[in-house]
Amino acid sequence: MENVTPNVFTHTRLRGSNPSFVVTSDGVVAIDTPQLPSRAVEWRRTAESHGPIRYLINTEHHVDHIFGNYYFKGAGTVVNHLGLWERFMVPGPEIDPFDYAHEALPADDPAGEAIFPARDEYYRDPNKGSIVFTGDITIRVGDHTFNLLHTPGHTPGQTTVHVPEERAAFTGDTLFSGCQTWLMTSDVDQWVAALDRIRTLDVDWLVPGHGPVVTKGYLDVQRAHLLGWKSAVADAVAKGWSRAETVARVNFADEFGPVDIGQEYMLEYIQTWNAGALWDKLTGSPPGGGMPRPPDPRDPANAKAA
Ligand SMILES: [Zn+2]
């Protein structure tokens, strides 16, 4: 766990997103939850050691930001953008988020198996938002202000949490700091606009969805990665490359790597997914044509190096 400011805590070294919380004069506000069950239980205990959790805000619908909500039942009111709430743990053509959460356990949280719910039990109450908003909203807790800004691009319901008193903002995966960017459900043009909006905030610290805490200078790096992907695939389309040719030849594994902690085995999958998704968008093709299932970490071929 790291202190960003005396009241802002985050953890950037877990498999999954960077769960965070802010301590106010009237309790704690949590932002995202650990994907791994044991880490979620521990993180809740740590946050509650600073006071009762008043609100839990999620920044996006991807499993690594929301699955741990299940272990935060009864810990404050969950707040979700409508675009997030509608997609909360909904299986898609490429990934079943429930299976994906489960697949992480053998390698990263074997003890979590004992508290991993059955599918039916999980979906009865995954602890989605009970405050569901569109646009932006502001929540006041104690002496702190939480401006929830709709910053779509990485996902449709993407939310940035700006806490002016701490001169900090939590961006979710609008920022991948020092690691590969996942473009799967993204609109790159919206995403670049989201970076521009975050640039207008008067903050010292940006807590990304993945990787180390950064300053606003990193917005330019993220922008360069997004535009690098988009222009490379646009060039491929202009040359008349097929989807398969584009996926085979457009690759930023060496330039924009590594993958965030615990998901190293996804490196090539991210390349094919990013290139394929952009090709679909730029050619107006239906999404996900012929994409492979992601590699399963339980397959010995994907075993981590010791
Ligand atoms: Zn994430």
Instruction: Render pLDDT for 50-61 as a digit per residue (tens, 0 to 9).
Output: 999 999 999 999
CA of 182 to the centre of ligand 1 (A): 8
Cα dihedral value 141, 34, 119, 289, nearest 10: 110
CB atoms inside a 10 Å sphere around CB 285? 12
CA of 181 to the centre of ligand 1 (A): 9
Q: Which position has the token pair 């950064």? A: 214
CA of 172 to the centre of ligand 1 (A): 7
C-alpha 181/C-alpha 67 separation (Å) is 20
Helix %, strand %, coil % of the chain (to 5): 40, 20, 40
CA of 222 to the centre of ligand 1 (A): 14
Three-state SS at 285: coil
CA of 173 to the centre of ligand 1 (A): 5
CA of 241 to the centre of ligand 1 (A): 30
Mean pLDDT of 105-109: 94
CA of 63 to the centre of ligand 1 (A): 8
For the cut 70, the answer to whether the pLDDT of residue 288 exceeds it is: no
The C-alpha R_g of the chain, in whole angstroms, comes to 19
CA of 89 to the centre of ligand 1 (A): 13
For the cut 80, the answer to whether the pLDDT of residue 301 exceeds it is: no
CB atoms inside a 10 Å sphere around CB 298? 13
- Confidence band of 304 (pLDDT split at 50, 70, 90): very low
CA of 123 to the centre of ligand 1 (A): 21
pLDDT tens for 177-230 read 989 999 877 999 999 999 999 999 999 999 999 999 999 999 999 999 999 999
C-alpha 72/C-alpha 75 separation (Å) is 5
CA of 159 to the centre of ligand 1 (A): 12
User: Which residues, by Cβ under 5 Å, contact ligand 1, an ion?
Assistant: 17, 62, 64, 173, 209
In this structure, what DSSP letter does residue 293 have? P
CA of 169 to the centre of ligand 1 (A): 16
Which residues lie below 8 Å from residue 114, measured CB to CB, with a gap of 6+? none
Strand order in the sheet with 2-5: 2-5, 8-10, 20-24, 27-31, 53-57, 77-81, 131-133
Question: What residues form DSSP beta bridges with 206?
Answer: 169, 214
Among the residue ranges 17-31, 56-70, 272-286, 288-302, the one predicted with the least confidence is 288-302
Mean pLDDT over the full length of the chain: 93
Which residues lie below 8 Å from residue 21, measured CB to CB, with a gap of 6+? 8, 9, 28, 29, 30, 31, 47, 50, 53
Strand ranges in the chain using DSSP code E only, listed in sequence order? 2-5, 8-10, 20-24, 27-31, 53-57, 77-81, 131-133, 137-141, 144-150, 159-163, 168-176, 205-210
Peptide bond into 258 cis (omega under 30): yes
pLDDT given at position 297: 63
CA of 200 to the centre of ligand 1 (A): 23
CA of 261 to the centre of ligand 1 (A): 11
CA of 232 to the centre of ligand 1 (A): 24
